[in-house]
Structure 1
Amino acid sequence: MPKINVYLPDELAEAVKAASLPVSAICQRALEQSVRRVTAIRAIALNDFDDSQLTQFTERTRTVIRLAVEAAAGAPNVGTEHLLAGILREGTNLGVHVLRAMEIDPKLAETAVAARIPTAGGEPPTRFSDFAANALELTVTEALSLGHNYVGCEHLLLGLLSEPGGTAGDVLRELGMDVKTTRQTVVAALTGYQHLRAQPGNDPVLAAVRKELQPIIERIERLEQRADGT
């Protein structure tokens, strides 16, 4: 049986050892699931794109993917750079708010990624690139690892950053982002929205913040209702 080395951060490696986990069996199962998801993503024909193929993705994330396909017009495939451009062009999603929370100007990120995308024109692409498919698989993995039953733009941002070979990851890392800090920011942002939603509405400052974040709060509420079957 072929052997594949798996490299872990020191902290995680120590935790795995302490828990005496069956690493080989767990990795085999996780890789089997990832191979199936990546194969399905690569098989998606974008010239006949159907939202039902991405059932766990939120409507805003699907909008981002549609914008990515538009940004990739004339390119052979939809790349990670086009997915990042989609996040930035949509402009209201949690991924963009995470950038701001990390003191990264979305306009600066948009300029940086636009420099990596040739001038649009021509037929739309029909497939995701290998790097983009890998990033979308990592996106789903990020959502699952955070215990979420939906895939949002915040997970897509993490997936793009985690993919080591894609242009989007290069752009984000050049802007000073790393996976660990970004993941912590996503968790903090979601926790903050839940806390904010529970606060009384008579504070004018909180009211202003609530108004700015209302689309995201409403999205979380819809997802919770869907998960509860209501």
Structure 2
Amino acid sequence: MASKPRTAVATVLFSLPTAKPDRISTGKNSKWSARAIKSFAMAELEARKLKYPNTGTEALLMGILVEGTSLAAKFLRANGITLFKVRDETVNLLGKSDMYYFSPEHPPLTEPAQRALDWAFDQKLKSGENGEITVTHLLLGIWSEKESAGHKILASLGFDDDKATELSKFMDKDYDRSFK
């Protein structure tokens, strides 16, 4: 008896977790860019690699750098902020996890990480422009969380308000641009 070929089912995620579920029905059709979604997925993976119980702003920052092709990632690298430096700073700031701890497949977001995502969403809505919420929105959301590990790591590696202002000029654009 011949078996039927199986059909593959793929789920495409157009949104990232939000603390305010009513945002989804705002009428505005803002969605996350593919690069932002990939950055988020890579952030979860980085949190798991470090065996952390949550996905924090530091993991979001690492996820941006792992994705690597976005304007935000290129901007960070052009300013000397690399994945290895961020990983080292993360371990220095937060410490190493228990060697025998197994992080969940999708580590839940910390409160600062959730606020960073919500900030990015809100900035896109405030801009009134159509289009996607980009990785640049996400990076600036991390920077907006002053007490978060991600902000502290960025600051220790030389990112400051001037760099955030420079990057914000390109918030609604996620095109290939080289920074010198």
So what's the TM-score if we normalise by structure 1? 0.53
The yes-or-no answer on 1:144 pairing with 2:121 is no
**Code of the aligned partner of 1:176:** G
Of the three residues 124, 144, 149, the one matched with 1:167 is 149
Q: How does 1:58-207 map to 2 (within 5 A)?
A: 58-73=33-48, 74-101=51-78, 103-107=79-83, 108-113=85-90, 115=92, 116=94, 118=96, 121-148=102-129, 149-179=131-161, 181-187=163-169
Deviation string 1:160-208 (CA, Å, 9 cap, x unpaired) is 0001221001111222323454133341587796xxxxxxxxxxxxxxx
Q: CA RMSD in A?
A: 3.3
Structure 2: 5+ residue stretches without partners? 1-17, 23-28
115-124 or 154-163: which moved more? 115-124
Aligned sequence identity (%): 25
**Code of the aligned partner of 2:96:** P
Shift of 1:139: 1.4
Aligned residues of 1:131 and 1:166 also touching (Cα < 8 A): yes
Aligned residues of 2:135 and 2:174 also touching (Cα < 8 A): no
**C-alpha distance in structure 2 between counterparts of 1:104 and 1:142, whole Å:** 26
So what's the TM-score if we normalise by structure 2? 0.65
Distance 1:162 1:75, change over 3 A: same
Q: Which has the higher helix share?
A: 1
Partner residue of 2:10?
Answer: none
**C-alpha distance in structure 1 between counterparts of 2:174 and 2:43, whole Å:** 29
Instruction: Look at both structures and tell me which one has the larger radius of gyration over its CA atoms.
Output: 1
**C-alpha distance in structure 1 between counterparts of 2:161 and 2:36, whole Å:** 20
**C-alpha distance in structure 2 between counterparts of 1:111 and 1:64, whole Å:** 19
Partner residue of 2:4?
Answer: none
**C-alpha distance in structure 2 between counterparts of 1:167 and 1:136, whole Å:** 15
Aligned residues of 2:32 and 2:132 also touching (Cα < 8 A): yes
The SS at the match of 2:69 is: coil
Deviation string 1:140-171 (CA, Å, 9 cap, x unpaired) is 12333444431111111100000122100111
Deviation string 1:28-67 (CA, Å, 9 cap, x unpaired) is xxxxxxxxx52439xxxxxxxxxxxx96101111111111
**Code of the aligned partner of 2:65:** L
Report 1 or 2 for greater relative contact order, CA contacts < 8 Å, sequence distance ≥ 6.
Answer: 2
Aligned residues of 2:136 and 2:171 also touching (Cα < 8 A): no
